Amino acid sequence: MKNIRRSFLKLLGFSYLSAILLPYNLAHSAAKKIINPNLTEEQKKIMLDQATEKPFSSPLNFEKRKGFFHCANCDAKLFSSDAKFDSGTGWPSFSESLPGAFKTTIDYSFGMKRIEYYCANCGVHHGHVFDDGPTSTQKKFCSNGLCLIFKPEI
Ligand SMILES: [Zn+2]
């Protein structure tokens, strides 16, 4: 009996949260702006519908030069190469973003609670950030490489 009550309360808490978050999520998706007319269907799926690229598919996993990673949609500067590390997840990963580059929201999809981050300038989805990073920031930004453009320092 106790268990049933507990799962009921859990369910209640969950729907309560979704009720709060839903209008916010709707507002958030409306705020996404496509700026780059040359985005591919795959990029749009990730940026607008929070799809995830296949792990180990991005050439940016191997990018080791100095420079900056920009938003593939609006060109905003998002990460410095100094913050890049190999997380072993198969997605380009960073210990921190440039100040003000992203905004975050809680993502409850797939029965998980994750922190989604999206471009503060154009609103498109970029990835999820976790608290188990190996550096002093303890952050691990797992980025979809298709959302990023790397510009090496000249
Ligand atoms: Zn952007």
Single pTM value for the model: 0.81
Catalytic residue among 71, 119, 142, 147: 142
Per cent of the chain over pLDDT 70 is 81
Q: Is-catalytic flag, 74?
A: no
**89-124 per-position pLDDT tens digit:** 999 999 999 999 999 999 999 899 999 999 999 999
Cα(137) to ligand 1 centroid in Å equals 23
Cα(77) to ligand 1 centroid in Å equals 8
Print the SS3 string covering 20-60: HHHHHHHHHHHCCCCCCCCCCHHHHHHHHHCCCCCCCCCHH
Angle 150-94-140 (CA atoms, 0-180°, nearest 5)?
150
Q: For the chain, what is the mean pLDDT?
A: 89
Q: Rounded mean pLDDT of 40-49?
A: 97
- What b-and-e string marks burial along 26-45, b requiring 16 or more CB atoms within 10 Å of the CB? eebeeebeeebeebeeebbb
Cα(31) to ligand 1 centroid in Å equals 11
Checking if the pLDDT of 153 tops 70, the result is yes
Cα(117) to ligand 1 centroid in Å equals 11
Cα(64) to ligand 1 centroid in Å equals 22
DSSP states of 95-146 = S-PPTTSEEEEEE-GGG--EEEEEETTT--EEEEEES--SSTT--EEEE-GG
Q: Which residues surround ligand 1, an ion (CB under 5 A)?
A: 71, 73-74, 76, 119, 121-122
